[in-house]
Amino acid sequence: MNSAAHSALESVRVIDLSGTVATEYAAKLFCDYGADVVNLEPEEGFQTRLLPPFIQGTSISALHAYLNANKKSVCGPIEKNHLERFLRKSDLFLYSLDDHKTVEAIAPSSANQCCISWYGESGAYAEYKGSDGCIQAMSGLMRGIGAPGEAPIIPPGYQAQIIGGLSAFNGSMAFLLGQLMGILDEPFKLDCSILEANMCLTDLGPINRLNGNEIPPRMGINRFPPTYPLGVWPCKNGWLGVTALSPSQWKSFCQLLDLDDFIDIDFFDVSINRYMSIDVLEPAILKSLGDKDAEELFYRGQEMRIPLARVPTMEELLEIDQYKTRGAFTPIQSGSKSFLAPSSPFRLLKTPAIDLRVLAELGEHNGYLDLSLIHISEPTRPY
């Protein structure tokens, strides 16, 4: 098992003051590589402890466990002198604008700070209330999802906050490296907007809107012009993700599905022409897929250099051979219960992510604040 003693960020201390999905994900990425991460929780705990899904047979949030494994949990009222000591002795503080008491307490300090909020501390939307659904809509991602003429489909979950947390981690890590290398000699404060972070997923949308270009209509399920075929389709057994862009990929795809009648039609060598001919091509594609096994098509398609993906159901996800081989999931322990969750997205060969992941109970590390028992070392900052 890899341990923090042999990890890339073992000398870094990060404090999460707010406990949102976004701050917890940013802190999780530090924690995965050995950083000492402390959750300063209120007496009732961070709100993520109440978010489903829950570990089977318990009232413990599996999402909270995923985001907070290997972190220290300190809960209850924090005395001012304790917080000030942490401010002096930690490398980074993460918090949200929604946590007004935290904002007031940390604002005058000279500690490294990263504030993660829905719309940033300033700007036209700074005072607005946000949610993952709002971000999906305002970034333009939601507009293209769903059937034409119907309401758009709102993506579930907390993807928007995860992207915000990732952006905050990237920015904070860059500044911390700058301090370690002596490039920066003063503390930093980052203002991370979850909305702006999510613009990376719809990069062409904001550019077109800024230039006054016409907003494209919703085209429907598996409609992503000018590329066709592009989408996820049902097979006789399972689902297959398809992206056939170049003429050679299209011809190989036709060969894979026994659609020989389309192979030598030069008109279909151009992707947009295929898109304009959906009424002819798609019924034939769906009929052929419906007679075949998704996993068999996936492996045959790999040999033919067609960009295909076997799309598993949630029940199948943990049994996919390539995921097992690559260690895509690792166990998280909470008391006597454990479950598999996604591994860290970054692979470092010499200092890999910690693969022993245990969730602390609320307040398990309250003694961490007893400075007479636990020495808090100085951070590795040049100031």
SS3 358: strand
pLDDT average, residue stretch 197-214: 84
Give pLDDT, residue 108.
66
Residue 194 CA to chain centroid, in angstroms? 12
What confidence category does residue 5 fall into, taking pLDDT thresholds of 50, 70 and 90?
very low
Cβ burial 32-64 (10 Å sphere, 16+ → b, else e): bbbbbbbbbbeeebbebbeeeeebeeeebbbbb
Which two three-digit tokens encode residue 34?
Answer: 């050995």
Q: How far apart are CA 331 and CA 346, in angstroms?
A: 17
Least confident range from 10-19, 62-71, 199-208, 324-333: namely 199-208
- Is residue 229 within 8 A of residue 249, CB to CB? The reply is no
Q: How far apart are CA 350 and CA 290, in angstroms?
A: 46
pTM exceeding the 0.85 threshold for the entire prediction:
yes
Strand spans (E) along the chain: 13-16, 36-41, 72-75, 92-95, 113-117, 189-193, 230-234, 239-243, 308-311, 329-334, 337-342, 357-358
What confidence category does residue 380 fall into, taking pLDDT thresholds of 50, 70 and 90?
low
Q: How far apart are CA 319 and CA 208, in angstroms?
A: 42
Residue (of 21, 154, 197) closest to 98 by Cα position = 21
- Is residue 360 within 8 A of residue 64, CB to CB? The reply is no
